[in-house]
Chains A and B, each alone.
Chain A
Amino acid sequence: MFSAYANNVVQGQFPNYFYEEYCARRRLVPANKVHPDLLRPGDTPDCRPINISSAECQIIERAYFDESLQASFARIVLEPVQNGVCVKGCISKTVFGIQAALDDNPNFAIFQGDIKNGYNEISRASIIEAVKEQPELHDILTYIYLTHNTKSYVAMGVAFT
């Protein structure tokens, strides 16, 4: 029963208002970079908001982004540049690789770039376009479009008394 429902969700079988609610069904939690007990008096907590999706959404997405889909991402996206997802021991590979390359090439310099607020500022249109460009990812295009191109809802007014 749930499997049939999940298939309908990822195949875009429901109306748009379903996906608006599906994307909004999340809870916002603060992820503290420094534990509050370790802060000095007067310090402002340095926390990052994490929007955790519902259990139902996580079950569906974990099943949907299975090993074969991850392998497609690895082939298309990661090789040979990006090691962030689907690569085991990616940080060790990066650290030791850079150190070895610098030892072999003493005239080289390393530039470590910092992207400002990347997760929150990347263009959704560019993501959808990138999915469109990859035939191996066309199976997820509908789901990505519906969950990243939806309208959100805001309401203002006088509360009921």
Chain B
Amino acid sequence: MTDAGFKVEEGVHQGAVPSGYLYTLGQNRAMQNHCERVEAEGGGVTVILDDNTTLALREVIFTLAKQLAEDLALVGLELQPAKSKAFITEHLRKEYDTIINLLDPGIWSHPDILTRQMLWILIHVCMQFTGDYWLRHWSLLHRRVCK
């Protein structure tokens, strides 16, 4: 028979009476820091145990969330970007829907259209109207490259 003691360094006792208090106390410094930063930007924070909600300007809210994630990491907690959510008001949502429809991949089917194909069109136009451009400037370009 082999036995050994090991120390549990993470977690509160699930279902125990003081666990809710202790969990909130453990993450308190991170949440208070977050609240100070958000209030400085004119926003607000509310937290119910492991569910936190931040209300702030759209321009700063994701930077604030990133700073919260860094603070939470100091007490062993991880803010999951994949499961976190962002909400905006209804009238702004309509604008975003318009942009999303314009960027519909069914209409713009190739990601290179804005670079490769348009570059091709520009070159084509250039060659069409100034067909001797490269011929007139080739020797000069060649000399610069060789130097």
Contacts and interface: CB of A to CB of B under 8 A. Distances in A.
Q: Do A and B come from one complex?
A: yes
B65 A122 contact: no
B3 to A, nearest CB: 4
Majority secondary structure, B binding face: mixed
Nearest to A91: B48
A111 B61 contact: yes
B25 A111 contact: no
Interface residues of B, number: 71
B11 to A, nearest CB: 4
A20 B4 CA distance: 13
A123 B57 contact: no
B98 to A, nearest CB: 17
B46 interface: yes
B1 A155 contact: yes
Interface in A35-82: 49-53, 57-58, 61-62, 64-65, 70, 73, 76-78, 80-82
Contacts of A135: none
B2 A113 contact: no
Given A109-B61, A112-B53, A121 B10 contact: yes
A118 B35 contact: no
16 contacts: A61-B16, A77-B25, A82-B31, A85-B20, A85-B49, A94-B46, A105-B55, A106-B92, A107-B57, A110-B54, A111-B61, A114-B51, A127-B25, A127-B26, A130-B29, A144-B22
Interface of B: 1-29, 31-32, 34-35, 43-58, 61-62, 64-65, 68, 72, 74-80, 83-89, 91-92
